[in-house]
Amino acid sequence: MSKYLVLQTDFGLSDGAVSAMHGVAYTVSNEIVVQDLTHDIPPYDIWAASYRLLQTVSYWPKGTVFVSVVDPGVGSDRRSIVCKTKSGHFIITPDNGTLTHIAHFQGIDEVRVINEVVSRLPHSEESHTFHGRDIYAYNGARLACGEVSFNELGEIVSCETVEKLEIEKSSIKNGIISGNIDVLDIRFGSLWTNIPLSLVKENHIVHGDYLQVSIYHGTKRVYQNIVKFSKSFADVNIGEPLVYVNSLVNIGVAVNQDSFSRLYHIGTGIDWKMELRKAAKIIFE
């Protein structure tokens, strides 16, 4: 049975860093399969690292070990941790907020702290700046191949002690659904919110309905339009906006074959909010 180790970093693929991580993992064991989530997390962007884990982890076989290294605090006293998720996957990462979305939306069963002095690539003591290779890939491979068990990797600590970033919650008030614009679908320029389809359904909004979409940057409204809640991009004309259900079953907005983000200068993060309101009646002449 194959055992998977999946790596995520902000290192890019233009030098040898990621390949050295793969090499270390395969040196630990030639019975594992080493794969990549992405290595294009914007430098130091812990929020993005956390979100991309949410987008990906549950689609891999149970038991898969993920290593995520977006680590602005490398060499500080931030902890290295390994967690077991409720979905049956493992994640090894600096304890800096990278587990925020997984903890919130999928749940964590148990967390352990890795001893960076003992559990590291032999003869790597002189370099203190490449924990991705010397600690994370190394221990990820040991866990993936069964050389160490989850329990042996470190002392258990309370899940409550895990560092978390602030997460906005979606809500509804007076028929207006409010949420946060969490992340950009980079390649296509679509915007993904934290509003789950379930919240939309509860408010009797169905595919084909027209919604008033308002977007706020801080307190300033920067976009407002009537947009069709569409099953998929092909339901609207090329160049036309749509509200849709994204691959995480949350609400997104897009423009068919163009970039909503670029066209309307919309960003992502806790300063960017979206409101949805069902249009009672639209008369097309």
Within residues 194-253, the interface with a copy of itself by CB under 8 A covers 197, 231-235, 244-249, 252
CB nearer a copy of itself, residue 126 or residue 160: 126
**Shortest distance in whole angstroms from residue 283 CB to a copy of itself:** 27
Q: Which of residues 135-174 bind a copy of itself (CB under 8 A)?
A: none
CB nearer a copy of itself, residue 221 or residue 231: 231
CB nearer a copy of itself, residue 23 or residue 108: 23
CB nearer a copy of itself, residue 13 or residue 156: 13
281 binds a copy of itself (CB under 8 A): no
What separation, in Å, do the N-terminal and C-terminal C-alpha atoms of the chain show? 62
CA dihedral angle for residue 10, residue 16, residue 17, residue 20, rounded to 10 degrees: 140
- Strand ranges across the sheet with 3-9: 32-36, 3-9, 65-69, 90-94, 80-85, 108-114, 154-157
27 binds a copy of itself (CB under 8 A): yes
Amino acid at 132: G
**Shortest distance in whole angstroms from residue 233 CB to a copy of itself:** 6
CB nearer a copy of itself, residue 117 or residue 280: 117
CA–CA gap between residue 280 and residue 152 (Å, rounded): 59
CB nearer a copy of itself, residue 112 or residue 133: 133
**Shortest distance in whole angstroms from residue 228 CB to a copy of itself:** 13
**Shortest distance in whole angstroms from residue 58 CB to a copy of itself:** 8
Q: 5, 24, 195, 253: which one contacts a copy of itself (CB under 8 A)? A: 24
10 binds a copy of itself (CB under 8 A): yes
Q: Which of residues 41-60 bind a copy of itself (CB under 8 A)?
A: 43-44, 52-53, 55-56, 59-60
**Shortest distance in whole angstroms from residue 52 CB to a copy of itself:** 4
CA–CA gap between residue 33 and residue 241 (Å, rounded): 41
Q: Which of residues 93-122 bind a copy of itself (CB under 8 A)?
A: none
Q: 105, 150, 188, 210: which one contacts a copy of itself (CB under 8 A)? A: 188
Residues near 105 by beta carbon (within 8 Å), at least 6 away in sequence: 54
* Binding span for a copy of itself by CB under 8 A among 39-47, 171-179, 210-218, 220-228: 39-47
**Shortest distance in whole angstroms from residue 164 CB to a copy of itself:** 20
**Shortest distance in whole angstroms from residue 220 CB to a copy of itself:** 28
Give the max Cα distance, the chain: 76
CA–CA gap between residue 270 and residue 167 (Å, rounded): 8
